């Protein structure tokens, strides 16, 4: 897991209820859990939460102590914002703060709400909050390409990475659209124009996949930590990883295409790996260059290792939690295999829990 950005000695813990779009039920899930915690005796208060006039959310909200909002005068208009100083003075065990990506009104101590949350965590107060996956800073360009909507309120990825717990709140896109049409989420006339174009079934399906991948990646990080602590040798990934092994002695374009198609069907990460056990001649350099060019066109990561072929491939598989290996038939002669050993035999012997696919040699290149 990524290192927390908060003070580890202070004890503030962050939990994020993650959704893929407004209306999936993040605020309700947050309040529902917090209500159960409150009944068990935990000191929980509301720092900021907008019910959007939803009766179910308002009913849950009624039982909580609410920290009064701070009133800011901006160009003659009074704007209410969360009062971070009041929360710090009250020092609850947990504070509920909705909408992590919110931009504060001018005159606030911090420009962004996630900065307020960071300050509260650093003071030793735990925070339960909500956000949508499209607000992640690293996904900003991708979300704009998918939906045609440029998200202006973003949250740095390291904030989500520092959360002790992330819970995805899910709902099918069709069910969410029905909720919107009924006005159960927010009155249609109040729907933010900047996000209204996001609510097509195709866009919502794509955003939902991004959220699921984010959660899967986080689970994978936790599993990696567990593997390290328990010395588990078997790959155990929330997401499959395919390693395509190529050689400088012959073109591997068919091999790369085959491995890439396998990875696409599995929705897996994919990497092309070659090992140089000696200086390459011009012909071999050209082969690797052409193979890497194909990998680049397919948007596949490439890695070059230097040293003993079998040893380095095995090491890479173990260190990178590879789940599938795609490799071509050996072009070594029988005598070479007797003298130097078979790469495929070494892989199958040392990687017994890995799926290894041996692909026929290229013929078209």
Give mean pLDDT, residues 243-267: 87
Q: What contacts 296, CB < 8 A, 6 or more positions away?
A: 302
Instruction: Give the range among 143-157, 197-211, 329-343 with minimum mean pLDDT.
Output: 329-343
Q: What contacts 200, CB < 8 A, 6 or more positions away?
A: none
Q: What is the pTM of this model?
A: 0.62
**What distance in Å separates the CA atoms of residue 34 and residue 50, rounded to the nearest whole number?**
16
Whether 339 shows a pLDDT value over 60: the answer reads no
Instruction: Give the range among 188-197, 341-350, 355-364 with minimum mean pLDDT.
Output: 188-197
Do the Cβ atoms of 20 and 132 come closer than 8 Å? yes
What is the pLDDT at residue 128? 97
What is the pLDDT at residue 254? 82
What is the pLDDT at residue 194? 44
- Secondary structure (H, E, C), 313-331: HHHHHHHCCCCEEEEECCC
Do the Cβ atoms of 246 and 275 come closer than 8 Å? no
Residues above pLDDT 90, as percent of the chain: 47
Q: Token pair 């990883």 is at which residue?
A: 241
Most confident of 105-109, 166-170, 209-213, 354-358: 166-170
Whether 165 shows a pLDDT value over 80: the answer reads yes
Instruction: Give the range among 27-41, 213-227, 338-352 with minimum mean pLDDT.
Output: 213-227
What are the respective helix, strand and coil percentages of the chain, to the nearest 5? 45, 20, 35
Whether 256 shows a pLDDT value over 70: the answer reads yes
What is the pLDDT at residue 113? 96
Of residues 55 and 39, more confidence is placed in 39
Q: Token pair 């040293």 is at which residue?
A: 307
* pLDDT band for position 37 (cuts 50, 70, 90): very high
**What distance in Å separates the CA atoms of residue 154 and residue 138, rounded to the nearest whole number?**
9
Other beta carbons less than 10 A from residue 323's beta carbon:
21
Whether 190 shows a pLDDT value over 90: the answer reads no
> For the chain, first and last CA: distance in Å?
43
Whether 197 shows a pLDDT value over 50: the answer reads yes
Give mean pLDDT, residues 54-58: 84
Whether 333 shows a pLDDT value over 70: the answer reads no
Mean model confidence pLDDT for the chain: 84
Instruction: Give the range among 161-165, 191-195, 344-348 with minimum mean pLDDT.
Output: 191-195
Name which of 246, 199, 162 is nearest 22 in CA terms: 199
Give mean pLDDT, residues 256-284: 90
* pLDDT band for position 74 (cuts 50, 70, 90): confident
**Strands ordered across the beta sheet of 355-359:** 301-306, 269-276, 241-246, 324-328, 355-359
What is the pLDDT at residue 75? 83
The CA–CA distances, whole Å, from 16 to 19, 116, 131, 179, 239 equal 9, 15, 7, 23, 22
Give mean pLDDT, residues 334-342: 50
Give mean pLDDT, residues 5-22: 77
**What distance in Å separates the CA atoms of residue 274 and residue 287, rounded to the nearest whole number?**
11
**What distance in Å separates the CA atoms of residue 365 and residue 342, rounded to the nearest whole number?**
24
Q: Is 43 helix (H, G, I), strand (E, B) or coil?
A: coil
Is the four-CA dihedral 14, 19, 21, 27 of positive or negative sign?
Answer: negative
């Amino acid at each position: 897991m990524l290192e927390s950005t908060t003070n580890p000695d202070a004890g503030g813990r962050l939990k994020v209820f993650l959704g893929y779009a407004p209306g999936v039920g993040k605020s309700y899930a947050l309040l529902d859990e917090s209500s159960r915690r409150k009944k068990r005796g935990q000191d929980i208060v509301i720092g900021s939460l907008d019910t959007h006039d939803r009766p179910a959310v308002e009913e849950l909200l009624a039982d909580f102590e609410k920290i009064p909002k701070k009133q800011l005068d901006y160009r003659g208009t009074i704007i209410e914002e969360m009062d971070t100083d009041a929360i710090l003075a009250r020092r609850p065990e947990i504070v509920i703060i909705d909408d992590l990506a919110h931009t504060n009104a001018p005159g606030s101590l911090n420009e962004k709400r996630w900065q307020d949350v960071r300050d509260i965590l650093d003071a030793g107060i735990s925070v339960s909050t909500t956000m949508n996956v499209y607000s992640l800073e690293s996904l900003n360009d991708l979300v704009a390409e998918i939906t045609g909507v440029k998200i202006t309120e973003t949250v740095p990825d390291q904030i989500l990475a520092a959360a002790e717990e992330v819970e995805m709140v899910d709902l099918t896109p069709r069910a969410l659209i029905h909720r919107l049409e009924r006005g159960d989420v927010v009155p249609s006339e109040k729907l933010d124009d900047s996000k209204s174009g996001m609510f097509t079934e195709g866009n919502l399906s794509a955003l939902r996949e991004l959220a699921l991948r984010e959660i899967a990646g986080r689970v994978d990080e936790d599993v990696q930590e567990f593997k390290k602590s328990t010395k588990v040798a078997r790959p155990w990934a929330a997401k499959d990883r395919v390693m395509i092994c190529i050689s400088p002695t012959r073109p591997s374009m068919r091999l790369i295409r085959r491995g890439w198609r396998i990875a696409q069907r599995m929705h897996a990460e994919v990497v092309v790996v070659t090992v140089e056990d000696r200086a390459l001649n011009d012909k071999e350099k050209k082969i690797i260059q052409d193979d890497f060019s194909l990998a680049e066109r397919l948007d596949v990561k490439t890695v070059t290792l230097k040293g003993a072929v079998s040893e380095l491939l095995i090491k890479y598989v173990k260190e990178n939690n590879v789940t599938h290996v795609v490799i071509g038939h050996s072009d070594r002669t029988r005598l070479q295999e007797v003298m130097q050993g078979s790469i495929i035999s070494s892989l199958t012997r040392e990687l017994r829990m890995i799926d290894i696919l041996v692909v026929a040699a290229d013929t078209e290149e």
